Amino acid sequence: MKVQSLILVAIFFYIAYTELVNGKPHKGCQTRCGDVTVVYPFGTSQGCYYADDTSFHLTCNDREKLLFDIDTEVINISHSGELRVMNNISYACYNKQGILSDYRYSTYTLGKLSLSGNNTFTLVGCNALAYLSIFGSQNYATGCMSTCDSPSTENGDCNGAGCCSTDVYVPLDSYEFRTGPSRLENTTSVYDFNPCIYAFMAETGTFHFDPLEDLKNLRNVSQFPMVLDWSIGEQTCNEVGNRSICGMYNSICINSASGTGYNCKCLKGFEGNPYLSNEQGCQVYSDPSTCRNKVGGFECKCKFGYRLDTTTMSCKRKDFGWATILLGTTIGFLSIMLVVSCVQQKMKHRKAAELRQKFFEQNGGGMLIQRLSGPGTSNANIQIFTEEGMKTSTNGYGESRILGQGGQGTVYKGILPDNSIVAIKKARLGDNSQVEQFINEVLVLSQINNRNVVKLLGCCLETEVPLLVYEFINSGTLFDHLHGSFSSLSLTWEHRLRIAVEIAGTLAYLHSSASIPIIHRDVKTANILLDENLTAKVADFGASRLIPMDKEQLTTMVQGTIGYLDPEYYHTGLLNEKSDVYSFGVVVMELLTGQKALCFERSQQSKHLVNYISSAMKENRLHEVIDAKIINENSWKEINEAVRVAMECTRVTGEERPLMTEVAAKLEGLRVTKAKHQWSDQYPGEVTENLVDVGILSAQGDTSSTGYDSIKNVASMHVAAGR
C-alpha cells in the first residue's frame, strides 16, 4: 500500500512537471499586476513561469508595478517576443557659470534579453553631444550632436537644433549598453533656458520634441518606454525539434529575429497565447458552439437553416426574417436593458458613496475629525462642502476660473449658490506627509479669528484630491506688488508702513493671543495677500505649527523658504516664535528696498537682502538701497527707524531678537506718533551681527525641494536638516 502511494505521488509530480514544460502553468497563477497582463512564459511565482529559465520570473511589488530584474518596470509583454520596459534618462545639469552641478549616466544590463531595433537614441539640449556605447563580444558606439543659441518659438523636428536622434544598430550578442550627455565648451549663453541636457533610449515614435518645453525641463519625466526582445533558450527551431514549449495545437515555432533562441506563433486564423496548449492557447476565432479545434486545424458545423459566416467563423441564420421574432427579441432586449439599468443605477450610487468615503479617509478626514474634536479646537467652524457643489461653483473646474497654478495645486474662482465669491484651492497631494500638512492648514486656520488672516470657510474631502475654500482676495500678493504683475501700481511709504503694521500685529496675535500659540514658519511676501483696499491678509498655513502651552519651542524638520529662513532654526532644528520674527524682518526689508530677499545678480557678499542692507548701513549709504518711490523729507526718519526694526528682527541669535508684540508696538508707534526714539538700545550689538550664515546661501542649490503649496502660486522650499 505504501509503495502504491509513492508511485501515485511520483506520477502526480511527473504530470505537473510535464504540463509546465509543455506550456501549462498551474492554476491560480497571477495574471495581472496593476495595468499589465502577465502572460506565460512570464510569471510571478514558482510554477507560473517557464521553469528552465529564471529570466522569465517577474515581480509584482506592493505598488502593483511589474518589475523585471531588480527595479526595471515592465509596461507590456507581447507574445511576438517584445518586452516594453521603462528606461532611465541620462542627464547633466550646469549652473550659470557652466559648472556641472548634477548628472546621471545610465547603464542597462540586458542579460538574456536584447535591444530591439525599434528604438531611437535621442539627445535634447543646446550645444551638446551624447554617446551610446553597446557592449558585447564586439563593442559598438554611436551618438549625435545638437547646437542652438535660443529655443525655437515653434514645435520643431529633432534635426540637430536643440535635439538630435540616431537609429541604433544592435549586435546580436550585446549584453549591456550605456548612455550619457556632455556640454560643449563656451556655451554659457544657453544656461538660462537650457540648464540641463538629456540623453535617452526610447521606443521609436514615443518622443516628440517641443523646444519651448523640453529644453527647460524635459516635461519633468525621468523615464521613457524602451523595447527589448526576448526568446526561448539558445537553440533554433530545428535544433530544439519537438522539445519546444510551443502549444501542442495550432501554433508553430519560429526562430528569433534579434538573437539566439526561438519564439512561438499562432497559425493563421487562430489567436491566443501560442505558448499554452489549454483553453488560453491558440484558438479559432469563432462561436465555440459552432467550431471546435482539432490537431492541425478546426471543423465547423451549422444547424439546419443556418450558414457558416467565414468572416466571423460563426453560424448565421439564412436570409429570411420573421417580424414576430424580431418584435419579441426587441421587447425582451428592452426589458432586460431596463432591469440592467435599474441595477446599474443602484450599484452606481452605492459605488459613488463608497468612493466618496474612500477619498474622505484618503484625504485625512479621520485625522481632521480627530483633531477638531481634541482639546483647544472647540471654536473651530469649518463648513463641509459637497463634490457636486464644488464642481458647480467652478463651472466644472473650467480654465477660465483658474486664479493661479503651482507645482502642488491650482486655485479656482468659485461662485457659491448665495452668489458669494470664494477662492477654491485644489491641492495636489502625493504622500501622507502632504496630507498631514493639508489637515494642518485646516486645523490652524480654524483656530484663527483675525481680520488680517485669510479666512478659511470650509473644505471638501470627498473628491480625489482635497479642496479648501477661502474668502476671495482679489488684488494679488505683496510679492506681486513689489516684484511681479502689480509692480506698476506704486505702493507709497504710508501703504508699506501700514502693511508692515498689519503683518506684525497678525504675527503677534498668532504668537500671543491665539487660543494655542501658532508659529507660521513660512512668512514671506508671496504669502501675504492684499485686498482691494491694500489690506494685508496672511495666508498659507500648511507649514505652521501649534505650540503646546507647556513648551517654548519644538524640534522639527527644517522647513521654510530660502532667503527668509531663520539661520538659527536652520542649524539647530529648534523652532520658536523668534523664527517668524526673523522672516518678518526680511519682509520689512523688501518693503523698504523693493528688492527680492535673495538675488544672485547682486555681489557675492550682498546676495541676501540682510547682508545688502547691513553693508549699506556700515558704509553710510542707506539712501542708495531704499526704494526711491518712498523717499521724501517727511518719511526719512520713519524709514530709518523701520530699517533699525528690521535689523533687530534679523539678528542671527534668536535671544537678541525682539518679540513680535514689541515689533508691532514699535511699528504702530512709527505710524501714529512718529516716534523719534532709537530702539536699538534695548537690544545692543553691532549691525554686522545680522550677516546671514553662508551655510544657508550655499545650501540653496542642493537641499531645497518643492513642498506643500500655499493658496497662491508660489512653492515653499523645504530644507532638510543635516544635508
The C-alpha cell at 381 is 467652524
Residue type at 686?
A: E
Instruction: Report yes or no: 699 and 719 within 8 Å, Cβ to Cβ.
Output: yes
**Phi-psi bin for 551: left (phi > 0), alpha (psi -120 to 50), beta?**
beta
Determine how β-strand 140-146 pairs with β-strand 114-115: unpaired
SS (H, E, C) 504-572: HHHHHHHHHHCCCCEECCCCCHHHEEECCCCCEEECCCCCCEECCCCCCCEECCCCECCCCCCHHHHHH
Alpha-carbon gap, residue 540 to 425, rounded angstroms:
11
Total number of residues shown for the chain: 723
Instruction: Report yes or no: 64 and 33 within 8 Å, Cβ to Cβ.
Output: yes
Alpha-carbon gap, residue 457 to 416, rounded angstroms:
12
Of 214, 229, 522, 540, the active-site residue reads: 522
Partner residues linked to 411 by β-bridges: 404, 425
3-state class of 118 per DSSP? coil
Determine how β-strand 456-460 pairs with β-strand 383-384: parallel
Partner residues linked to 388 by β-bridges: none
3-state class of 342 per DSSP? helix
Q: What is the DSSP string of 462-508?
A: SSSS-EEEEE---S-BHHHHHHSTTTTSPPPHHHHHHHHHHHHHHHH
Give Cα 204 to chain centroid, integer Å.
26
CA dihedral 582, 588, 594, 600 (to 10 degrees): -10
Q: Order across the sheet with 456-460: list the strands.
A: 383-384, 456-460, 467-471, 421-427, 409-415, 402-406
Instruction: Report yes or no: 582 and 659 within 8 Å, Cβ to Cβ.
Output: no
Q: 335 exposed, middle or buried (CB, 10 Å; 0-12, 13-18, 19+)?
A: exposed
Alpha-carbon gap, residue 587 to 597, rounded angstroms:
8
Q: Is the peptide bond before 211 cis (omega within 30 degrees of 0)?
A: no
Give Cα 287 to chain centroid, integer Å.
47
Is 540 one of the annotated active-site residues of the chain? no
What are the start-end ranges of the E strands in 559-651? 574-575
Alpha-carbon gap, residue 651 to 648, rounded angstroms:
6
Query: Which residues are designated catalytic?
Result: 522
